[in-house]
């Protein structure tokens, strides 16, 4: 009983506690409990029920006196009273009495100097498998002296009562930065656990002088890194899985004085439309030990990656070393190239453009994309989105904290910054096909290799970015979106509408931004 209390925050009763089970044991448990089935390649396939993506309106931060003045409160960082959190936690602990539990002790932060320890307590074996694969797995020696910095309880079977609990629905994701606790209830979507860990790291790392980033990263053989910022669905995972480079990580990183390090130990890739010829590394990573969420499989366990009937946000969670060229541990040197990824549904942003320092700061703070279907509940068609730092839902501190750190890093390294549109060009989404992945890959490869350093550029008169006149292995006529549109007047109308949306968002959210950065934005 004492061990149970130590592991499980005082959860009483006679339920069995499974601590740090192996992958085969977790898969066996999940199958025996009816949580999922195996695919034809051995991946564990589960359905997450009502919640097939993150539920941002149900995410809260406990408003304590210790953190009150630090948090950027608003529609994203929603406060909840400490008493309400304590009441919900008490009910969750009571709910978990006598239930079989699964505990994983892991790390966030591949650089040992900056890592945090997380104890994850799960109601579901399948979710424990997920977080086992997504965090950094301690060695047997490290487990002997393991002590958690933060504890996360994930109980999707517990449903809140909004009128009583002071939340918005049956689901709630609540972070208490003062007591170092996270409670996740009501949602079976495993991504909530991963993103809660990230949200904690985005609070902790800046206090250590480290820029935490929603990005993927890879490195060349010499150790020089590249960073890919972008919201879900813009191509971070796909473009960072480059066979010619070593993958550091696909989603969450820290940038210290030494370079870039992965916060995670795994990848969480979107699967909709997945094809071996386009994304062989991801396709081949879906094997035993991988968790497949909401992917439709036939009677023989064969996945249909084209089927979005459960959600467009189908996902695969697997350890980073399932990628052949992953760098273990996930640490790289200082970056010389930074890519901002966006999926523009208007079809007016250039496929690739170069940014000077002020332009880079403008676009980093703006964080534009067209949010794609399925990544959040209620998103069924592309929606114009400005997400500060390309990941606003996960950054609890004031945006200026992170933005100022990036500006300092850019000055220190002199890294080249590019804006890459992985969405549509030549027409709006639905009227033309999405940009071919092979062309996007060619542009990114050219940027990383320095092959865009000495080409000629034109300054786009509306978006105020530098468009290259040529790029190796890419037809020149697709580099300028104006030339791709058949109706030039319609292009001007759509481009100016998006430019105005940029400026309106910037003026509303960042009224105190330096004038040089404001002027670096689009010219509506």
Q: Exactly one of 187, 196, 232, 388 is catalytic; which is it?
A: 232
* CB proximity list for 412: less than 8 A, separation 6 or greater: none
Question: Is-contact 390 230, C-beta < 8 A?
Answer: yes
Does 137 qualify as catalytic in the annotation?
no
Q: Exactly one of 315, 327, 363, 371 is catalytic; which is it?
A: 315
Question: Is-contact 327 265, C-beta < 8 A?
Answer: no
3-state DSSP assignment of residue 20? coil
Q: Exactly one of 84, 195, 327, 354 is catalytic; which is it?
A: 195
Question: Is-contact 185 88, C-beta < 8 A?
Answer: yes
Question: Is-contact 218 240, C-beta < 8 A?
Answer: yes
Q: Exactly one of 105, 250, 251, 460 is catalytic; which is it?
A: 251
Does 63 qualify as catalytic in the annotation?
no
First to last CA, the chain: 66
Alpha-carbon distance of 274 to 101, in angstroms, equals 33
Does 68 qualify as catalytic in the annotation?
no
**Strand stretches in 309-361, DSSP E:** 315-319, 331-332, 335-342, 352-355
Angle between helices 399-413 and 357-366 (to 10 degrees): 150
Q: Which residue has the tokens 């009910």?
A: 91
Q: Exactly one of 236, 334, 371, 409 is catalytic; which is it?
A: 236
Per DSSP, 424 falls in state B
Q: Return phi, psi of residue 368, to 5°.
A: -80, 140
Does 54 qualify as catalytic in the annotation?
yes
Does 251 qualify as catalytic in the annotation?
yes
Instruction: Print the SS3 string covering 366-400.
Output: HCEEEECCCCECCCCCCEEEECHHHCHHHCCECHH
Structure tokens at 88: 């919900």
Which residues does residue 79 pair with via DSSP β-bridges, in sequence order?
61
Give the number of other Cβ atoms within 10 Å of residue 299's Cβ: 5
Q: Exactly one of 91, 214, 245, 363 is catalytic; which is it?
A: 214
Does 236 qualify as catalytic in the annotation?
yes
Alpha-helix residue ranges (DSSP H) falling in 453-510 = 481-484, 488-509
* CA atoms within 13 A of residue 409's CA, in its CB half-sphere: 31
Structure tokens at 523: 């010219």
Query: Is the omega angle on the peptide bond into residue 103 within 30 degrees of 0, that is, cis?
Result: no
Bridge-based pairing state of the strands 335-342 and 225-229: parallel
* CA angle centred on 9, ends 176 and 11, rounded to 5°: 130
DSSP string for residues in 162-180: HHHHSSSSS-EEEEETTTT
Q: Which residues are catalytic?
A: 54, 195, 214, 232, 236-237, 251, 315
């Amino acid at each position: 009983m004492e061990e149970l209390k130590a592991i499980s925050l005082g959860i009483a009763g006679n339920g069995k506690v499974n601590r740090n089970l192996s992958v085969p044991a977790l898969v066996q448990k999940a199958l025996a409990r009816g949580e999922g089935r195996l695919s034809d390649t051995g991946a564990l396939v589960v359905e997450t029920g009502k919640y097939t993506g993150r539920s941002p309106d149900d995410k809260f931060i406990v408003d304590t006196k210790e953190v009150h003045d630090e948090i950027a409160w608003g529609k994203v960082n929603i406060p909840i009273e400490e008493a309400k959190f304590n009441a919900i936690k008490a009910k969750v602990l009571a709910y978990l009495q006598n239930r079989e539990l699964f505990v994983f002790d892991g790390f966030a932060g591949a650089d040992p100097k900056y890592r945090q320890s997380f104890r994850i307590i799960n109601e579901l074996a399948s979710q424990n498998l997920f977080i086992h694969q997504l965090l950094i797995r301690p060695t047997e020696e490290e487990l002997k002296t393991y002590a958690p910095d933060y504890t996360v309880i994930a109980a999707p079977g517990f449903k809140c009562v909004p009128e009583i609990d002071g939340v918005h629905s049956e689901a709630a994701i609540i972070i208490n930065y003062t007591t170092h606790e996270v409670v996740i209830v009501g949602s079976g979507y495993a991504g909530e656990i991963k993103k809660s860990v990230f949200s904690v790291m985005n609070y902790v790392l800046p206090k250590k002088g480290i820029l935490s980033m929603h990005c993927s990263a890879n490195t060349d053989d010499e150790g020089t890194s590249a960073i890919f910022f972008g919201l879900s669905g813009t191509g971070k995972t796909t473009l960072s899985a480059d066979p010619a480079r070593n993958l550091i990580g696909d989603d969450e990183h820290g940038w210290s004085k030494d370079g870039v390090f992965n916060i995670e130990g795994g990848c969480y890739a979107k699967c909709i439309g997945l094809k071996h010829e386009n994304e062989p590394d991801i396709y081949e990573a879906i094997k035993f030990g991988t968790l497949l969420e909401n992917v439709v499989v036939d009677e023989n366990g064969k996945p249909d990656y084209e089927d979005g009937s459960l959600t467009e946000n189908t996902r695969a969670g697997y350890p980073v070393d399932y990628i052949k060229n992953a760098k273990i541990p996930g640490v790289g040197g200082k970056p010389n190239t930074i890519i901002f990824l966006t999926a523009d549904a208007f079809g007016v942003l250039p496929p690739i453009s170069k940014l000077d320092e002020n332009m880079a700061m403008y676009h980093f703070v703006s964080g534009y994309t067209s949010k794609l279907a399925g990544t959040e509940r209620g998103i069924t068609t592309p929606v114009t989105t400005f997400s500060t730092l390309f990941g606003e839902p996960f950054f609890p501190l004031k945006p200026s904290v992170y933005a100022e750190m990036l500006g300092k890093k850019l000055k220190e390294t002199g890294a080249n910054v590019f804006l890459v549109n992985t969405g549509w060009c030549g027409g709006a989404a639905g009227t033309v096909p999405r940009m071919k992945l092979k062309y996007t890959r060619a542009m990114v490869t050219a940027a990383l290799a320095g092959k865009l350093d000495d080409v000629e550029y034109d300054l786009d008169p509306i978006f105020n970015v530098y468009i290259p006149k040529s790029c190796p292995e890419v037809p020149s006529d697709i580099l300028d979106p104006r030339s791709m549109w058949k109706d030039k007047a319609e292009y001007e109308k759509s481009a100016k509408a998006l430019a105005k949306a940029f400026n309106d968002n910037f003026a509303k959210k960042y009224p105190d931004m330096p004038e040089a950065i404001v002027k670096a934005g689009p010219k509506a």
